[in-house]
Amino acid sequence: MVGDLNMIKAMRQINKRMVNTAYRHPWQFRIEMDQAPKDFDLFVKSISQEPYTLETNPFMAGATPIHYPSAAQPVTLAMTCYDHEDERMYRWMEDRVNMVVNADGTWNLPIDYLITCKVFRRLYDGSEVLRQHMRLVPLVLGEITESVDAKESLEFPMTFVEFRAGSVDY
């Protein structure tokens, strides 16, 4: 009986702590990019990335491999975006990609095409904290599927890669 009361008391304390904890939710972000369309953050449905990826080279010490870090991979930022009926998101990314390579096949300099990106964490009180500041190269304006059967908004992926690995500010 006493053990049951102690367990109930402990569970109440845990429940109270859980209710008062501000858990982070996946929708608590906002993103800014250079020369992005008006309300850009409203059109970005989701973002995904691997913030840190290190490569190693194994070195055999007898029968046991020891892994020494050998490279830091750049961050790849993938976004799923909605578009406006005037195609402002599609056209913005198309313009960014066209800044990298010219119609004659020549490349432009990074100063011409690098995109400054800022990712903010949104807090429950309405404030924001800068989580990341990156310089990105536009890579992919992904597959767009249009269908007369679709009931949801049009969406498509856009992918960017960090210009220089390790240049992300966290």
Q: What pLDDT score does 67 carry?
A: 93
Provide the pLDDT confidence category of residue 170 given band limits of 50, 70 and 90. Answer: very low
Cα separation, 39 vs 78, in Å, equals 19
Q: Which two tokens stand for residue 81?
A: 């975006």
Tokens 């909605």 — which residue? 82
Q: What are the structural domains of the chain?
A: 23-162 (2.40.30)
If one compares 157 and 24, the residue with the highest pLDDT of the two is 157
- Where is 82: in which H helix or E strand? strand 76-82
Q: Are 119 and 36 in contact, with CB atoms under 8 Å apart?
A: no
- Residues 46-67, mean pLDDT to the nearest whole number: 91
Q: How far apart are CA 169 and CA 135, in angstroms?
A: 10
- Average pLDDT in the 136-161 region? 92
Span 88-99, average pLDDT: 95
Q: Mean pLDDT of all residues in the chain?
A: 90
